[in-house]
């Protein structure tokens, strides 16, 4: 994996469901928190032509455009229970298309040893007034590619690929 950005998140007591662990819906909030923190952080080394190191990806998008979630996929691996120490959402970019890109995530311990969930989100850059997709600029693409990493290692996909390979 190339560049993974690690975002600490504090589990709130209200995140816990009647089974005593973080509710599945809350994971989507954790992913959103990580995306928002990443896109609002100064680009620094991810700033390419047309961007300054103090700019954020959010600023590169600008007021006429916005980024919409097109799809989520989550694989829950272990239950996550309430605790006073943060859990970490590791976030990276797995794919960059013409007007879309994908984030990969792991919700894990700081050292990555215990992984509670793996996830992916497809995002689309859209014009606010027309509602139509818009091509990523070179500066946006550069930032996203700086954060690029491997595809999310979903167990289900790996099992399907193994079964498909065995059938050939």
pLDDT digits (tens, 9 = 90+) for 132-160: 999 999 999 999 999 999 999 998 766 55
**The pLDDT of residue 95:** 97
pLDDT digits (tens, 9 = 90+) for 20-44: 999 999 999 999 999 999 999 999 8
Look up residue 3 and give its two tokens: 């560049």
Q: Can you tell me the distance from the alpha carbon of 43 to that of 57, in angstroms, rounded to the nearest whole number?
A: 7
State yes or no: pLDDT of 115 exceeds 70: yes
Secondary structure (DSSP) of 80-107 = ----SSPEEEEEEEEEE-SSEEEEEEEE
The mean predicted confidence, pLDDT, of the chain is 91
List, in order of start, the domains of the chain with CATH numbers. 5-167 (3.10.129.10)
DSSP code of 45? G
Residue 7 near residue 88, CB atoms below 8 Å: yes
State yes or no: pLDDT of 48 exceeds 90: no
Look up residue 43 and give its two tokens: 């680009």
């Amino acid at each position: 994996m190339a560049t993974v950005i690690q975002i600490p998140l504090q589990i709130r007591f209200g995140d816990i469901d009647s089974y005593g662990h973080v509710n599945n819906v809350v994971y989507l909030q954790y992913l959103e928190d990580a995306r928002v923190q990443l896109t609002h952080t100064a680009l620094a080394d991810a700033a390419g032509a047309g961007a300054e190191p103090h700019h954020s990806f959010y600023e590169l998008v600008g007021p006429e455009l916005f980024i919409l979630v097109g799809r989520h996929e989550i694989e829950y691996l272990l239950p996550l229970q309430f605790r006073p120490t943060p859990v970490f959402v590791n976030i990276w970019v797995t794919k960059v298309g013409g007007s879309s890109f994908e984030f990969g995530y792991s919700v894990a311990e700081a050292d990555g040893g215990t992984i509670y969930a793996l996830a992916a989100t497809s995002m689309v850059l859209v014009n606010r007034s027309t509602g139509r997709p818009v091509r990523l600029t070179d500066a946006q693409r550069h930032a996203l590619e700086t954060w690029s990493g491997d595809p999310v290692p979903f167990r289900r996909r790996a099992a399907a690929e193994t079964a498909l390979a065995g059938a050939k």
